[in-house]
Structure 1
């Protein structure tokens, strides 16, 4: 039976896509068929094919199955701002139900593991009454939390984990991602997270000068996901 997870982060630029691509690579190395979706993106470039988001493109390269871009990233906004603000500026409205339908359609392809990557952190508004996190709740998908390791990450991680559980989702695991080459008491922060977060640590990704899916995958353990 296929396993599907919603990937969220402690903040924007926590490394959701880096970790997601690493998880997809680790699955590929186990000969698993994978799908990755980025339902909503903000910060896109205009191409001859239309707006394209770099994170969505990276996910498409990392997954083993091929899907059209419109299925991977159905809602794309050009400015790198909160999705509900970008939608309001463009006179568009996106709902959780509509996104869930798109995602379910894409996930009908036979596969082993799929990731649905959120935008920003857990509490990102989708419209004036719904959060993007509602997609994970609507689809009943467990959540993987990517913790961007920097000053303040303990507060961000614990509050996010608390919100995930309070909202009714299951925190299935978390990954520490070192977003800067130097962090004071890095190991102590990692240990505090291991002691405090109510889910298994799926890996600790160190600072990498060159981002490479295989290098990231070396630091991840996907067995608890399977």
Structure 2
């Protein structure tokens, strides 16, 4: 059985820096001396690259650039959908079914190829995959500890607490959360972060892994310097037993 570590990265919404933080985690694991691989099991939104003759997804490409242990595209992203829209809608239009078993199989193989595997979800925690299952079911099928990326902007407190409650309701372990400041003009950002920190710590025992400032342009390397990787690694290793 593999002794590799793994985690599932989810967000409070879409476009809140989930990929940036996932890439920062990959960089952070590398700095800790670990070979890190990335998975984006379901990606909606693809473009055709004439240079290599393959379909690509921008988020998946960023993950590959940050990963120390590269996975084959079909393992990194078992389901690459063309249109940038809700996965269950695009999958239905393309005549595809988003099955969990192939993703679990790919993840199992990825765990054999790296010390740690970062799995980035799609959208928020409860994005539908079909008329019966959502990304929460994917996280549950993988059985991974979850890291929440909170996009710090107006409404983030409610979104963060609801997301944490949804994760806990599925019986999944919350390994930590990251505050990512997406609105640099937000008033009382620090106070919002402190409120989330206090509530998540009290209600779920979830530590704040770090606060990523607004970065222009976005930089995984710079973002990684704002993360407490030893704290996260302790949480992941404790969960792994």
Q: How high is the TM-score relative to the length of structure 1? A: 0.96
Residue in structure 2 matched with residue 55 of structure 1 by the alignment: 59
| SS of aligned partner of 2:101 | helix
Residue in structure 1 matched with residue 225 of structure 2 by the alignment: 218
Residue in structure 2 matched with residue 138 of structure 1 by the alignment: 141
CA shift, 1:127, in A, is 1.4
Rounded to whole Å, the distance in 2 between the matches of 1:136 and 1:192 is 26
Rounded to whole Å, the distance in 2 between the matches of 1:90 and 1:30 is 41
| SS of aligned partner of 2:28 | helix
**Structure 2 stretches lacking a partner, 5+ long:** 234-241
CA shift, 1:181, in A, is 1.7
Structure 1 residues 107 and 2 mapped into 2: Cα distance closer, same or farther (>3 Å)? Answer: closer
Rounded to whole Å, the distance in 2 between the matches of 1:223 and 1:127 is 37
Q: Which moved further from structure 2: 181-190 or 47-56? A: 47-56
Q: 1:207 aligns with which of 211, 214, 218?
A: 214
- State the Cα deviation string for residues 163-213 of structure 1 (Å, max 9, x = none): 000011111100000112210111110100110112000000001112122
Q: Which moved further from structure 2: 216-225 or 6-15? A: 216-225
- State the Cα deviation string for residues 82-126 of structure 1 (Å, max 9, x = none): 1000000111101122221222222221x2221100000000111
Residue in structure 2 matched with residue 185 of structure 1 by the alignment: 188
CA shift, 1:153, in A, is 0.6
Rounded to whole Å, the distance in 1 between the matches of 2:79 and 2:92 is 13
Rounded to whole Å, the distance in 1 between the matches of 2:100 and 2:135 is 7
Give the number of the structure whose residues are more often helix, by fraction.
Answer: 2
**Structure 1 stretches lacking a partner, 5+ long:** none
- The answer on whether the counterparts of 2:38 and 2:70 sit within 8 Å (CA) in structure 1 is no
CA shift, 1:223, in A, is 1.3
- State the Cα deviation string for residues 2-39 of structure 1 (Å, max 9, x = none): 21000000000111110011111111112211011000
CA shift, 1:60, in A, is 0.7
- The answer on whether the counterparts of 1:96 and 1:130 sit within 8 Å (CA) in structure 2 is no
- Could you list the runs of 4 or more consecutive aligned residues of structure 1 that deviate by over 4 angstroms after TM superposition? none
| SS of aligned partner of 1:7 | strand
Residue in structure 2 matched with residue 87 of structure 1 by the alignment: 91
How many residues matched? 225
CA shift, 1:140, in A, is 1.2
CA shift, 1:216, in A, is 0.3
- The answer on whether the counterparts of 1:24 and 1:63 sit within 8 Å (CA) in structure 2 is yes
RMSD: 1.1
